[in-house]
Structure 1
Amino acid sequence: MQFDKQISHPIHPQHKLKLEYTETPFNCNGCKEAGIGFQYKCLQCEFHMHKSCALARSTIYRSFYKKCEFQFHHAPPGPALRICDACGKNVLGFVYNCRSCGFDLHPCCANLPQVLDDGEQNLYLCYKLSSPCHHCGGKGRGWSYRSQCKTYNLHVSCVKELLVESWHAIYLNVDKNKVREMQTRIPSLKGTLGNNHAGERSGGKGNIRKCCQIAGGAVSAIVSAILGDPTPIIAAVVGGFMSK
């Protein structure tokens, strides 16, 4: 799909926004969430927007909410604090809202692919988990991705908690203390997956190793999707950051 290389946007009318690619996370001036990969950027004002925010459709539908029609808003509707029903995080900027049901979605969450390719196998977006998340051990907390083999589950909210805040700390100077936490907060999942396979018989070590490889690719793919660019290139870049 081809996209315009330069656009005008109503929240930044003074200058054109140019389509660019970056491997450094940025803060989107539209939804106030982190981003990476393709962005629309003002070269004069250092104004950044996710591609999905800059080119947001006025109305979208998600299969999880069959009776809902989500309308795009430049600001959360009403005075009350809004919460994204996909990731459970506060809505501070652009949002998709269903007026009849009151559901809200960040633009990047609203555009999460139903299927992600992590380089090893497909990951499927789920509304509810039937087995525990490999990070928090729970089943609730909004949307999740599940591996094709059904042995690996991770909440979208857990990915945000573990990575986006740390990236904000490093690149956006939100909280310097989080920089020191980054390496210990990355969800390698090796211990968790090892415990899950502890009861397996011969060949168990091979299964553990395979699942850990799946987990690493899955986390990279999910993070890149949450940050607005669910492409294999950006997933590889994210994996590179995480392995440092």
Structure 2
Amino acid sequence: MAPIPTTIQHFTHKHSLILHHDTINPKYLCEGCMTYGFGTRYHCHACTSNLHEDCAKCPRILWSFMHPHHPLRLVERDHQSGDRACNICRELIEGLSYRCEPCGFDVHPICTLLPETLNHILHQPHPLRLLSSIEQGITCVICRGACNAFSWRYRCALCNFDIHIRCVPIQCQNKTTHRGISTYFPPSILPQQHYFVGYPNPNNFPGPSNMNHYNNNIVPQLYQQNHGQAQTHYGVNYGGRINQVMFHLVKTIATGVISNLVFGVIDVSTIF
């Protein structure tokens, strides 16, 4: 594996960027893709700009299972063409993104790091695959919230088994049946503690980041459903509230898959 460069020159920034880890102020806004990050980043000491390590290494052309028919091109946001949303997490595109122009497909660079498949303890016969679906009336087996049409989630299409992306790391309950068999069940109560270290409780957010489907051209006020509770709205700003957890969520799932982890067995929110 090639060593990580400590100093880079990126096309989005006029100054050199230095690999930096800030333990005092670990959270930052990546000024490449305009979503939040945590921990190590490339930092400009001249103007305090920050860039995700992954955004710094993004290839200009990407082939991805998320959009297998055409290559995705790394583009900067064109403010003349109106607002667009990431097809995967449904957050606004505010900076760098991968785009297929003919299909109108957009994805944050950080979201392209989500693994194609993973294993979950609640569905041991088959791996779950990151897919979108037009099926109606589907619910997440973890939070019981709706999986709206076209939303991306981890699913087994053969068994109609679906889990929201953000619900994958949640620990399931282990119970022993009357026959003495250890079995896992969805949690009876969703965790109230911090979902990830340094990030707020997910129940304070307006629902899973991939719960609702929006058109590519969306208005500045997004409406989402909070696990069947009252509807909430919020003004969109750089990095959006949900994108404050998306970075760590992606890193947790990706690292878990690399580590051959079966999700749902343990609480992985503080491990990776």
Does the alignment reach a TM-score above 0.5?
yes
- CA positional deviation for 1:143: 1.8
Q: 1:202 to 1:56 in 2, by over 3 A?
A: same
After superposition, give the CA deviation of every residue in 1:70-120 in whole Å (9 maximum; x if it has no partner): 110122475221111111111111111101111111111122222357899
Structure 2 residue 152 is matched with structure 1 residue 143: yes
Query: Aligned letter for 2:131?
Result: C
Query: Aligned letter for 1:28?
Result: C
Aligned length: 199
- CA positional deviation for 1:152: 7.0
Contact 2:86/2:106 (<8 A) preserved: yes
Which range is displaced more, 77-86 or 35-44? 35-44
Q: 1:81 to 1:227 in 2, by over 3 A?
A: farther
CA distance in 2, matches of 1:151, 1:211: 16
Contact 1:59/1:71 (<8 A) preserved: yes
CA distance in 2, matches of 1:12, 1:151: 45
Q: How does 1:33-112 map to 2 (within 5 A)?
A: 33-76=35-78, 78-112=80-114
- CA positional deviation for 1:55: 1.4
Q: How does 1:113-152 map to 2 (within 5 A)?
A: 113-116=115-118, 124-128=129-133, 131-134=138-141, 135=143, 136-146=145-155
- What residue in structure 2 maps to residue 7 of structure 1? 8
CA distance in 2, matches of 1:228, 1:73: 26
Structure 2 residue 27 is matched with structure 1 residue 25: yes
The one of 220, 226, 250 equivalent to 1:226 is 250
TM-score by length of 1: 0.61
Structure 2 residue 269 is matched with structure 1 residue 239: yes
Name the SS of the counterpart of 2:28 in structure 1.
strand
Name the SS of the counterpart of 2:98 in structure 1.
strand
CA distance in 2, matches of 1:44, 1:126: 42
Contact 2:113/2:254 (<8 A) preserved: no
- What residue in structure 1 maps to residue 217 of structure 2? none
Contact 1:30/1:49 (<8 A) preserved: yes
Q: 1:14 to 1:222 in 2, by over 3 A?
A: closer
Unaligned runs of 5+ residues in structure 1 are 163-186
- CA positional deviation for 1:205: 9.5
Contact 1:51/1:228 (<8 A) preserved: no
Name the SS of the counterpart of 2:14 in structure 1.
strand
Q: 1:18 to 1:11 in 2, by over 3 A?
A: same
Relative to total residues, which structure has the larger helix share, 1 or 2?
Answer: 1
Q: 1:127 to 1:203 in 2, by over 3 A?
A: farther
TM-score by length of 2: 0.55
